[in-house]
Amino acid sequence: MNCEVCQLKELEVEHFEIREVLRCILHTIVFHRALGLVRPKDVDLELFEITYVQCGDVELEKKIDEKIDQFISWVEKHPNKKSQICLSFYEVKSKQPSWFTNKTERLYWEQWYANLNVTQQPKQHSSKSHLTKVVVDPGESANEERSSRRAMVEASLREVLFQIIKFVNEKKDHVPPISEGVIYFPYEITMPRKFQ
Amino acid sequence: MEMDRESGKLEQIVSQFRSKILHVVLDSRVPSLHRHQQQDSLSLSRVRKTDKWFNLVLGDRPPALENLNFSLRNLLDPMVIDIILVRHASCSSSVDNLYSPSAAAAAAGPSTETVIERWVVQYDCPRVFASPSGADASVSYKKIYKKCILLLRSLYTQMRLLPAYRIFRQLSSLNQTYNFDIVYKVSSFSHPFSREEEDGMKEYSFAPVEALPGCLCVSVTYHATLSDFNLEPLVSLPPKIITDYVGSPTTDPMRSFPSSERGAHATSFPFRGLRPPSSAPFQRPHSWSSGFHRGIPPTKTQSLAGSPPVYRTSPKPYDITSPPTDLYGNRIQNHRVSILQQATAYDEYKLSPPFSPSASPSTPTYLSGANPLLTRHCSETAPVTIPLPPTGRSNRYLSPNSSDPSRHSLPPLSPRSSKHDTSSQESPSGIRSYRKIEALRAGESPSGLSNLYSAPKVVRDSKDDSGRFSGLLSSSGSPRIGFSRSSSRLSFQDDMDDCEFSCPFDVDDVDVSDSSSQNTENKRSSEFTAQSNLVGKKSQDAAVGILVHMLRTAPPLRQDSSCYSTRSLRAEYEGGVGIASGFFMPRKTADALEELNSYREMKDLLLSKSGTQVRKEGMK
């Protein structure tokens, strides 16, 4: 079975947006891979006018939040760097037992890469206001800039979600059969090599 | 045999797949169906048989859906789900629209319908086919089933990303009402879009699921943006507490309320009945009116109507009722949905909690309460809301605390409307149930509206009798505070009318010396009126008026001349406001002079007391 890989479109986000963006992306992917009995839970993002869907599993939500925390702490230590977070789905195969090993093997059948470029917010140009004759309210222009930037991020996030939907629709054959009583396929979230 | 069994399985998968898609689409687009499902909180916890299909728990299927399944049972026919945006035109602002849905519908003008989304689910199957058999078939059906699950997951996610989801959420919000509605139409055929309609629409097709011998195809055509449709919330004025209304103890009763600079003809005299001052457009909202005025210029809040709808509606400081525009949606839907659906929807209407008879009495109070139809977004009037103090403060406003004269900022309630404390708390739920009733118009029969609108008619009929008016409200269980205030205002006015209020000097029908009368609730309002006029800014004119009244009401001397004495007059006077008796006809000049002197003394006493009289009602 081959491993399908999906590289999601890169998103330029600010530090405070990381949590919401990653929650949205990771939960959306997992919802499409939680093929057991689920009660979907709609979640509205606070920063953007987007509603995504969770599969409603509490343990899963905790795990995802933990991984996002780890990601954020890494980003704080390495600012202004592009980073990835990888969500992989695998099957557990037991290896041929031998004297030395009785391991199980993970066969990855799908990997999703969310690419984030975490930027720092530019400083306000408020110091220049007193030099100009015409009194310009720096807050207004900053607000406009912020809202247009926010709209761009929202549009990009929406594109990423549509990208997920498209991928899920087009590639279905590699998905393993659903096991009885299992809600979602085994998964892992990693932060692979970081690059500039 | 085996082939039949296998084809039966396939048919079941396809049929359930279509039902599930229909459920997902309607649940994410039609607010009424969505709310109906959400109301049943107990049902949310359990998993139904229908939920297990495709491993997606959605809750109860609306009964209409079951009938649709029946009517569209030919699986080879496509299932076309049209999501239709109904935009209501501006309406005339009339009090009658409150109580007469047909008038409201007639006055509201034509509405515009636009298909904003079209979902097409089709099982494409060639006429001649060879279905798989044996083990292959079993594996095949498991794969088909898995792929259907995946498709449904992505469809569920996509429903929340398309533009129509935002307006669905707006309509689902209980804090706001809008000038539009969403209805649906399900059929096995589709009218092709015109070129105009196609402009601005995009199409998305989900990857077909191979379900041999055919394949399941799902596609959607949708408007890429809904900003061109001018979808607006209906705006109302924020609630305003009016303290200087006619009859307020803090207001000089002889004072007129000039509004000539605004071109209005205000009067300090209460008018009989409930005629709104239609010929005199009041700028200042009166708490005792029905709340609806013509000719009031639009305020700042109305200018908000031009702004695009907000995606996430925050709770507003004021309530906005939903106009009876649902009638439109309902009427339109009758043309849209199948007869079976209509009948089943009606059954649903009758059985579901919001339409229980106990809920309907609350609606009239809501209708004519705080923010009724005043909140119509119309060009010719400015809606006025009857102020709604918060529930927590309701006691303060509604229970006339006689021990604190300064708290008489509002007229006392009419006798039966004193049940405000519990009932006002119910009113939000009354509003919610009313809004649910409004919202559930989609897909439901017009006869379902009869429960809703019969109650307002009852209110209107009882309007002429102010005494029963408030009684009706309180017996309904949820009188709004503003509304009960207006009813008490009516009883207050009637009391004033009973006092033959015909000139500025005739103030009140005073009888505060009779302590037994205070026990009677009917006297309370007139007593309050008398006291409010006596105490505080009592003018000389008022004193003279009292005197004249005494003169007029004094019994003839010949009936009981022996009762007349200066002493008795004095005693009565000292007890409170005196009532003249035996004023006329001393037989001798000396008697006349004596009487004149006594009256002089009375007058002096009255005048001296006018500045120092303590409010007796504080003691009671």
Residue A149 touches chain B, beta carbons under 8 Å: no
Average pLDDT score over residue span A143-165? 92
Tens-place pLDDT, residues B520-532? 555 555 554 555 5
pLDDT at B472: 39
Residue A102 has φ and ψ, to the nearest 5°, of -135, 40
In which region does residue B63 sit, left (phi positive, over 0), alpha (psi from -120 to 50) or beta (all else)? alpha
Residue B393 CB neighbour total at 10 angstroms: 10
Min Cα–Cα distance to chain B from A36, Å:
6
- Residue B207 to residue A170, Cβ atoms within 8 A: yes
At B1, the pLDDT band (50, 70, 90 cuts) reads: low
Residue type at B549 in one-letter notation: H
| pLDDT the model gives residue B552 | 85
Calculate mean pLDDT across residues A128-133: 48
Reported as a pLDDT band with limits 50, 70 and 90, residue B585 is low
Other beta carbons within 10 angstroms of residue A137's beta carbon come to 10
- Considering only CB atoms, B160 lies closest to which of A53, A172, A178, namely A53
pLDDT number for residue B87? 86
B30-33 long-range contacts (CB < 8 A, ≥24 apart) are B30/B83, B30/B168, B30/B182, B30/B183, B30/B184, B30/B442, B30/B443, B31/B168, B31/B171, B31/B172, B31/B182, B31/B439, B31/B442, B32/B439, B32/B440, B32/B441, B32/B442, B32/B443, B32/B444, B33/B62, B33/B64, B33/B442, B33/B443
pLDDT higher than 80, residue A108 = yes
Could you report the per-residue pLDDT of B387-434, keeping only the tens digit for each? 555 554 444 444 444 444 444 444 444 444 444 444 444 444 444 444
pLDDT more than 70, % of chain B: 36
pLDDT in tens, B209-249: 988 788 899 999 999 888 777 767 666 556 677 777 777 77
Show residues of chain A in contact with B47, CB under 8 Å: 37
Q: Is the pLDDT of residue A89 over 90?
A: yes
Task: Reply yes or no on whether the pLDDT at B464 is more than 50.
Answer: no
Question: In chain B, what residues touch A54 (CB-CB under 8 Å)?
Answer: none
Least confident of A111-115, B175-179, B215-219: B175-179
The rounded mean pLDDT for chain B is 62
Which of B148, B153, B159, B203 to mutate against chain A (most A CBs within 10 Å)? B153
Average the pLDDT over each of A92-106, B6-20, B21-35, B373-387 and give the range with the smallest value. Answer: B373-387
Is the predicted pLDDT of residue B53 greater than 50, yes or no?
yes
CB nearest to A175's CB, from B57, B146, B156? B146
A contact test, residue of B160, B162, B206 with most A CBs within 10 A:
B160
Which residue from B minimizes the CA distance to A45? B312
Provide the pLDDT for residue B520: 53
pLDDT band, residue B165 (cuts 50/70/90) = very high
For residues B509 and B529, give the distance between their C-alpha atoms in angstroms, rounded to a whole number. 9
CA gap B576, B578 in Å, rounded = 6
Distance CA B96, CA B296 (A): 18
pLDDT tier for residue B148 given thresholds of 50, 70 and 90: very high
Q: Is the pLDDT of residue A157 over 60?
A: yes
Token output for B311: 């995606």
Q: Residue B229 CB: number of other CB atoms within 10 A?
A: 16
Q: How far is it, in rounded angstroms, from Cα B276 to Cα B293?
A: 7
Cβ distance of A28 and B157 shorter than 8 Å? yes
> Average of pLDDT values for A58-67?
93
Bridge partners of residue B579, in order along the sequence: none
Average pLDDT of B55-81? 78
Mean pLDDT within B432-449: 44
Q: What is the pLDDT of residue B43?
A: 54
Interface contact flag, B312 A49, Cβ < 8 Å: yes
| More confident of the two residues B42 and B455 | B42
Most confident of A42-51, A75-84, B257-266: A42-51
Report helix, strand and coil shares of chain B as percent, to nearest 5: 50, 10, 40
Picking from B146, B154, B156, the nearest residue to A40 by CB comes out as: B156
pLDDT of amino acid B385: 56
3-state secondary structure at position A87: strand
Q: Give chain A's mean pLDDT.
A: 85
- The kind and range of the H/E element at A115 are strand A104-119
pLDDT of B488 reads: 44
Q: How far out from the chain centre does Cα B421 lie? A: 19
CB contact under 8 A, A178 and B149: yes
Q: pLDDT tens across B344-370, in order? A: 444 444 443 444 344 444 444 433 444
CA atoms within 13 A on the CB side of B281: 13
Say if A179 is an interface residue toward chain B (CB within 8 Å). Answer: no
Residue A53 has pLDDT above 90, yes or no: yes
Question: Can you count the helices (H) and strands (E) in chain B?
Answer: 23, 6
pLDDT at B163 over 90: yes
B570 vs A139 pLDDT, higher one: A139
% of chain A beyond a pLDDT of 90: 57
ipTM for the assembly: 0.89
What's the angle, vertex CA B167, arms to CA B162 and CA B172, rounded to 5? 120
Q: Per-residue pLDDT for A82 more than 60?
A: yes
Lowest mean pLDDT across A84-93, B101-110, B149-158, B554-563: B101-110
With CB atoms and an 8 Å threshold, state whether A177 touches B156.
no
φ, ψ of residue B166 in degrees (nearest 5): -65, -45
Would the CB atoms of B161 and A162 count as touching at under 8 Å? yes
Residue linked to tokens 């031998």: A98
The DSSP result for B425-478, as a single string, is HHHHHHHHHHHHHHHTTTT--GGGHHHHHHHHHHHHHGGG-HHHHHHHHHHHT-
Dist CA A167 CA A112 (whole Å): 10
Query: Which residue in the set A44, A158, A165 is minimally distant from B154, CB to CB?
Result: A165
Partner-chain contact A35 B206, CB within 8 Å: no
Note the pLDDT of residue B270: 43
Contact list in B for residue A35 (CB cut-off 8 A) is: 55, 146, 149-150, 153
Tens digit of each residue's pLDDT (9 = 90 or more) over A5-37: 999 999 999 999 999 999 999 999 999 999 999
Interval A105-112 mean pLDDT: 91
pLDDT band with cut points at 50, 70 and 90 for residue B47? confident
| Eight-class DSSP state of A84 | E
More confident residue, B540 or B323: B540
Percentage of chain B modeled with pLDDT above 90: 14
Work out the minimum CA distance from B35 to partner chain A, whole angstroms. Answer: 15
- Cα separation, B470 vs B487, in Å, equals 5
Say what the pLDDT of residue B324 is. Answer: 42
The beta-carbon neighbor of B56 closest among A40, A165, A170 is A40
Q: Is the omega angle on the peptide bond into residue A97 within 30 degrees of 0, that is, cis?
A: no
Percent of chain A whose pLDDT exceeds 70: 84
Burial category of B262 from C-beta neighbours within 10 Å (exposed 0-12, middle 13-18, buried 19 and up): middle
In the Cβ-directed half-sphere of A45, how many Cα atoms lie within 13 Å? Answer: 25
Q: Kindly identify which residue of chain B lies nearest to residue A32, measuring between CA atoms.
A: B153
Check A35 against B160: CB less than 8 A apart: no
Q: Output b/e per residue, A65-102; b: 16+ Cβ within 10 A.
A: eebbeebbeebeeeeeeebbbebbbbeeeeeeeeeeee
Q: Does A165 touch chain B if contact means CB atoms closer than 8 Å?
A: yes
Q: Cβ contacts (< 8 Å) between B170 and chain A: which residues?
A: none
Confidence of residue A189 (pLDDT cuts 50, 70, 90): very high
- Lowest mean pLDDT, pick from A5-14, B35-44, B327-336, B574-583: B327-336
Q: What is the mean pLDDT of residues A48-77?
A: 92
Q: Is A170 on the interface with B (CB under 8 A)?
A: yes
| pLDDT at residue number B351 | 40
